[in-house]
Amino acid sequence: MYQTESLIILLSLQNIAATVIVYFGSLTFYRLFLHPLAQFPGPKLAAFTRYYEAYYNVVQNGQYTFKIAGMHKKCGPIIRISPYELHVIDPALFEKLYRQDGRWHKYSWALDGFSAGGAIICTADHDTHKARRLPLNAFFSKVQVSNKQDLIRRNVQKLCDLISQCTRTGQIVNLGTATNAFTRDVPTEFILGKSYNSLDKEDFDARMTNVFQGSGHIWRITKHITWFSPTVKSIPIDWVMKVADDGTKAFFRYLKETTHDTKELLAAIASSDSNDKSPRTIVHEILDSNLPAMDKNFERVFDDVATVTGAGFETTASVLRLIIFHVFNNPEILKRLREEFSSASISPSDLVEVKTLEQLPYLTSILMEGMRLSPAIASRSARISLDWNVHATTRNLESPGARTLRNRGVQFAQGDWEDMDVLRISMSGCQKLFLCLHPKLDDLNYERRQAEKIVRVAKEVGIKQVVASTSLGVSMLGTGIHITPNSFMAKHLAGKKGVEQAVIDASFEHWTFLRPAFFMANFLKPKVHRYLELRDKAMTAEGKFALIDHVDIAKVATAAFQDPEKFHGCAFGLASELLTIPEILDRLGEVIQRPLKAIFMTEEEITKQKDSNVFANSQIAMR
């Protein structure tokens, strides 16, 4: 008994090992030779796994950027840097890849490290990003910044006074830390209406500066170990502050304060009247916008508060540090700048308007050069090109399928096909429609009626081409193949034919019909459960069964969309393979490592259940 159990365990382990080997072997082969990016040069290990990048960014602490530069020197201007990404260094392509027009998704994987999924900067979808950014456009406009000149002057004066005080006492000033304190106080007061007074703290709160400058490794770890940041965020802040070092405590204290202040702002805005005279913040702009309610909850609003304020900290400080160094390290630059101020009759004690400073060409050139030379971000800015904008509907935006498709660039309208307004919204802006309707077994005219509604809306919104997927059985109509009148199959095929007729009657510029065979996926979960009650088939051992891989349907549909004229007016019967039932069972048996066998009915048995089994007619016809 013991030996038998040991043998079973051993065999199970062998099966697991074999499965793992086959899986990774197949994955390796696909990514290296069959993947759409396989044609591009680059390290084979990078093409196979992201852990190649993880090694350089996590173990080697952010060195993948420099590794990519080395790859370009070896392999050329366009290289493959991961299983899913290309990297381009050709300046001639910059305007194409980073142009303002068109629609571009961000790469969601590249944003995971921020752990602020609701923030504008972390919104991958083009349209969602645009909608979330819109309420803040006016807030960060040039006019609004000009209106806050007093805020900026007050903090500049405070910084200058502190430097003067240190000069009188002979104290050394760390200008890097001082500028960081300045660029924390100004953005927080501008964005949240409250300064956290970093300039007033001892050594300009250098601990916070060190945390922000040294946080890159956390971002890199989180990108590759996705559970890391959510785990850290789930730990109560008070617990962290009890065991953390001084710098981490300072950061979490700031995080706790901004969390509290954001909640207070949300509550105050919700309870205030329209005559409220309190300073406008980005929280006001978000809550007063037309964004949906789900975009106005605390979690998403705070994600914006944290990332928008944070975006102005180290980035702005690095520009100021660079400019200050070069101006005071180069006497000629300092001399010319002072001469320009003098010629414009500007003295240190003057309250100068921004519009006056904008008229000074040398000052402007210094600022522009400082921004050009500033390190900015040290990681790549990945974009997903949307040559085609794919729209769809879904009842549940958070379903696994919807989330997967959304990450691939699909834009969803929430609702179903019974709601014509939802369809109208979903199709708006599109020129092509892929139409595939699922039958209702208790209402075989449903597809035809639904198709008529959908094509009517499609015409309203300007759809020019329709590719409709119906059924291979439609090809049998009018060929002399006998299908029992008024049977389920006759009604089913009439409904499918009605879908095609609805498309023809709508007079689109181009239309194509795809008539696929039985889906291979119907043999697998979850679809196989729909057919459990239909196990009895009218097929024979010799009869060939037409099967289609749904990916093949997509390939033909894509070809039709790419060349509408060539495919116009055509109807294609689609099948990937013709197999007998025993051949199908042999293949399925190989996968599950268990023999499968069919027991075929006699002709007499088939005849008896022909009218009760909804698929019997078509199976008899397929012989």
Please name every residue paired with 393 in a beta bridge, in sequence order, or none if there are none. Answer: 413
pLDDT confidence bin for 22, thresholds 50/70/90: confident
Q: Where are the alpha helices (DSSP H) in 244-313?
A: 246-271, 282-287, 298-311
- Whether 393 is covered by a domain: the verdict is no
Q: Where are the alpha helices (DSSP H) in 272-383?
A: 282-287, 298-311, 314-329, 331-343, 354-357, 361-373
CA dist 411 and 205 (Å) reads: 44
CA distances from 460 to 1, 409, 420, 499 (A): 73, 25, 11, 18
Residue predicted with more confidence, 340 or 214: 340
Same domain, 368 and 453: no
Tell me what percent of the residues of the chain surpass a pLDDT of 90.
32
pLDDT at position 302 is 92
The least confident of 45-54, 106-115, 497-506 is 106-115
- Give me the amino acid identity at 66: F
Same domain, 30 and 77: yes
- Whether 269 is covered by a domain: the verdict is yes
- Count of domains observed in the chain: 4
Same domain, 370 and 452: no
Residue predicted with more confidence, 371 or 222: 371
Q: What is the mean pLDDT of residues 255-271?
A: 89
Q: Which of 110-114, 319-323, 485-489, 536-540 has the highest mean pLDDT?
A: 319-323
Q: Are 481 and 539 in contact (CB under 8 A)?
A: no
Please name every residue paired with 498 in a beta bridge, in sequence order, or none if there are none. Answer: none
The least confident of 355-364, 405-414, 473-482, 606-615 is 606-615
CA dist 307 and 319 (Å) reads: 19
| pLDDT of 4 higher than 80 | no
State the DSSP H helix or E strand holding residue 623, giving kind and residue range, or none if neither: none
| pLDDT of 11 higher than 60 | no
CA dist 151 and 169 (Å) reads: 28
| pLDDT of 608 higher than 80 | no
Q: Are 53 and 64 in contact (CB under 8 A)?
A: yes
| pLDDT of 73 higher than 70 | yes
CA distances from 457 to 3, 416, 464, 506, 560 (A): 69, 14, 12, 10, 22
| pLDDT of 424 higher than 60 | yes
Q: Are 108 and 407 in contact (CB under 8 A)?
A: yes
Same domain, 561 and 611: yes
pLDDT at position 534 is 46
Length of the chain: 623
- Whether 63 is covered by a domain: the verdict is yes
Same domain, 256 and 370: no
Q: What angle do CA 104, 106, 109 make, to 5 degrees?
A: 150
pLDDT at position 417 is 84
| pLDDT of 384 higher than 90 | no
pLDDT at position 60 is 92
Give DSSP secondary structure letters for 128-168.
HHHHHHHHHHTTTSHHHHHHTHHHHHHHHHHHHHHHHHHHH
| pLDDT of 131 higher than 50 | yes
Residue predicted with more confidence, 7 or 559: 559
The least confident of 282-296, 503-517, 592-606 is 592-606
Same domain, 367 and 476: no
Q: What is the distance between the terminal CA atoms of the chain, rounded to a whole angstrom?
A: 51
pLDDT at position 436 is 92
Which of 292, 311, 329 corresponds to the end of one domain? 329
CA dist 66 and 51 (Å) reads: 16
- Whether 204 is covered by a domain: the verdict is yes
The DSSP letter of residue 384 is E
Same domain, 306 and 338: no
Residue 146 sits in a domain of what CATH number? 1.10.630.10
| pLDDT of 423 higher than 80 | yes
Residue 600 sits in a domain of what CATH number? 3.40.50.720
- Whether 401 is covered by a domain: the verdict is no
Q: What are phi and psi of 486, to 5 degrees?
A: 65, 5
Among residues 597, 598, 613, 591, the alpha carbon closest in space to that of 26 is found at 591
CA dist 111 and 582 (Å) reads: 49
Same domain, 545 and 593: yes
Please name every residue paired with 619 in a beta bridge, in sequence order, or none if there are none. Answer: none
- Residue range 267-312, pLDDT digits in tens: 888 887 656 667 889 999 999 999 998 999 999 999 999 888 888 8
Same domain, 205 and 312: yes
pLDDT confidence bin for 386, thresholds 50/70/90: low
Position of tokens 């006074």?
Answer: 161
pLDDT at position 117 is 78
- Residue range 425-468, pLDDT digits in tens: 889 889 999 999 988 877 878 889 999 999 999 999 999 999 99
- Give me the amino acid identity at 346: I
- Whether 130 is covered by a domain: the verdict is no
CA dist 201 and 206 (Å) reads: 9
pTM value is 0.60
Q: What is the mean pLDDT of residues 411-424?
A: 88
Mean pLDDT of the chain: 84
Same domain, 159 and 282: yes
State the DSSP H helix or E strand holding residue 434, giving kind and residue range, or none if neither: strand 432-436
Same domain, 92 and 143: no
Q: Which two tokens stand for residue 242?
A: 């009890």
pLDDT confidence bin for 614, thresholds 50/70/90: low
- Residue range 532-551, pLDDT digits in tens: 544 556 677 777 888 898 88
Which of 114, 145, 178 corresponds to the end of one domain? 114
Among residues 531, 547, 442, 532, the alpha carbon closest in space to that of 495 is found at 442
CA dist 320 and 560 (Å) reads: 55
- Whether 536 is covered by a domain: the verdict is yes
Residue predicted with more confidence, 616 or 205: 205
pLDDT confidence bin for 617, thresholds 50/70/90: low
Same domain, 154 and 262: yes
Beta-carbon contacts of 574 under 8 Å, excluding residues fewer than 6 positions away, are 472, 514, 515, 516, 517, 548, 552, 553, 556
| pLDDT of 91 higher than 70 | yes
pLDDT at position 570 is 94
Residue predicted with more confidence, 408 or 233: 233
The least confident of 87-91, 308-312, 322-326, 372-376 is 372-376
- Whether 366 is covered by a domain: the verdict is yes
Give DSSP secondary structure letters for 61-98.
TS-HHHHHHHHHHHH-SEEE-SSS-EEE--GGGHHHHT
Burial environment of residue 55 by CB neighbours within 10 A (0 to 12, 13 to 18, 19 or more): middle
| pLDDT of 367 higher than 80 | yes
| pLDDT of 119 higher than 70 | yes
Provide the residue range defining the domain that includes 345: 330-377
| pLDDT of 55 higher than 70 | yes
Q: Which of 312-316, 479-483, 553-557 has the highest mean pLDDT?
A: 553-557
The least confident of 236-245, 261-270, 503-512 is 236-245
The separation between CA 574 and the C-alpha centre of its own chain, rounded to angstroms, equals 33
Among residues 126, 158, 54, 116, the alpha carbon closest in space to that of 311 is found at 116
Q: Which two tokens stand for residue 20?
A: 């793992």
| pLDDT of 205 higher than 70 | yes
